[in-house]
Amino acid sequence: MVSEEGAQSISEPAVVGDYVLRSKLGEGAYSTVWRSEHRATGETVALKQVRLSSLSRQIRSCLDCEISFLSSVNHPNIVRLLDVLQADGCIYLVMEFCAGGSLAAYIKVHGRVQETIARRFMQQLGAGMEVVRSHFIIHRDLKPENILLSGPEEDRVLKIADFGLSRIVLPGNSADMVCGSPLYMAPEVLLFQRYDEKVQFFLNFFTAIHHIVVRLTFSAFVQLLKNIRSSTSLPFSGLILKELHPDCIDMCSRLLCVNPARRLSFEEFYWHGFLQTKRLGI
């Protein structure tokens, strides 16, 4: 699921099913991701090891949602689930390996990317989210670290990954569990309010916009969190780079609207003029 950058090799590789665990790619509260190889074919994959004993009822439900959703989709902008294994009190999700690493790593190397690349990434994010939305899934932890890249450097393909906190929210319903990464939470989540699918249009596209088309330092991020919690104004317009295309500025401003009722809907985002430029060959 992620690149080999920062991977920790293990002295005596373990074997799970047909896969040999080669190095640790990352670790979270409930899981560890390993770069692994198929013993017969040599194919490189990412094994997400989930320790069942550490899961609460709610997180186990999220895991079931992740497996069910990924098992049912095959889309270029969503990471592929190849197999599911169970051994020694753990569930292993065999995922495609994305050699391009995460969007976070890409931004760290390249800095703020060009507007044309940002447009392409947002189009791909929108295409993936269209599938997520069609299954009534809310991701709830979409951030640069959970957006992966594959393909050659000059033509990266964005893939939405890590649905470990996802859940189904049917139309007209809402959720109230506070989860995810605070720096990428929508205002209504930070304020412990109930939320629906519009929550992910704030955090999903804030993820894409962060360090791509917005001048936003860490200290500015912290100040935004404070402003949200105190219900003061959020001067997003002052953070958006003035040299950007007017359509880009309009889209960013409307995606980052604090009030979910005024925030862009998915359809409004997907068919926004800024993203249609490339699609229509303008």
CA distance 198 to 266: 8
CA distance 277 to 52: 46
CA distance 109 to 228: 30
6-21 burial by CB neighbour count: b if 16+ within 10 A, else e?
ebeeeeeeeebebbbb
111-148 burial by CB neighbour count: b if 16+ within 10 A, else e?
ebbebeebbbbbbbbbbbbebbbeeebbbbbbbbbbbb
Longest Cα pair distance anywhere in the chain, in angstroms? 59
CA distance 93 to 45: 10
End-to-end Cα distance, the chain: 34
| Angle subtended by helix axes 246-255 and 199-209, to nearest 10 | 140
Q: Is 48 annotated as a binding residue?
A: yes
Q: How far is CA 192 from CA 11, 72, 176, 228, in A?
A: 45, 32, 7, 12
CA distance 274 to 253: 12
Looking at residue 4, what DSSP letter applies?
Answer: S
Angle at 49 between CA 45 and CA 51, to 5 degrees: 175
141 noted as active-site residue: yes
Catalytic residue among 64, 88, 141, 162: 141
> Hey, which residues are catalytic here?
141
Question: Which residue ranges make up the annotated binding site for ATP?
Answer: 48
